[in-house]
Amino acid sequence: MKVVVSVLFLIFSSIAAAAPPALDEAQTHRYHQLIDQVRCLVCQNRTIAESDAPLAADLRDIIGRQIAAGRSNEEIKNYLVQRYGEWVLYKPRFSAATWILWLGPAALLLAALVSAILLWRRTGRRAEPPAPDEDSLARILDDERRS
């Protein structure tokens, strides 16, 4: 019986620890928006809203507590970036460190487009050899028959 009570106590205490602090409706909406914008540092391809990792639960708790403390979304994001780096955000901000993430795909697309146009122009300028006229064709056939 003691074992069952102990196990139940551990289960309910872990559930209570993972729950965010009491938030009103607007704060709850902000909370869900923010946890969808923060990357799980363990899973890497999931948000902390989707992850079951303990670190994701800790980050959700931090965000909930900071919302309850009255911090703005930017203040919370700045705190997470200072602590975990810009990579913690699913949409990194445009800065000197992340410009390649934002401009790189457009630059590659532009380079591919320019290359395709130059290649098309270069192959379009090549003149096709003229078709042989009847006299030339007759000479070629006569030469082949003689050989």
The CATH number of the domain holding residue 79 is 1.10.8.640
Write down the pLDDT at residue 23: 76
Is residue 12 located within the same domain as residue 63? yes
Q: Give domain status of residue 93, yes or no.
A: no
97 DSSP assignment: T
**Domain span including residue 23:** 2-88
Is residue 34 located within the same domain as residue 57? yes
Is residue 42 located within the same domain as residue 104? no
Is residue 116 located within the same domain as residue 76? no
What is 33-83 written as a DSSP string? HHHTTBB-TTTSSSBTTT---HHHHHHHHHHHHHHHTT--HHHHHHHHHHH
Q: Give domain status of residue 76, yes or no.
A: yes
Q: Give domain status of residue 142, yes or no.
A: yes
Write down the pLDDT at residue 15: 46
Write down the pLDDT at residue 123: 77
Per-residue pLDDT reduced to its tens digit, 82-107: 998 888 887 776 666 666 766 778 88
Regions in the chain scoring below 70 on pLDDT = 1-21, 93-99, 101-102, 124-130, 132, 147
Residue that terminates a domain, selected from 68, 88, 108: 88
CB atoms closer than 10 angstroms to residue 46: 15
Please state the domain count of the chain: 2
Record the pTM. Answer: 0.54
Write down the pLDDT at residue 16: 44
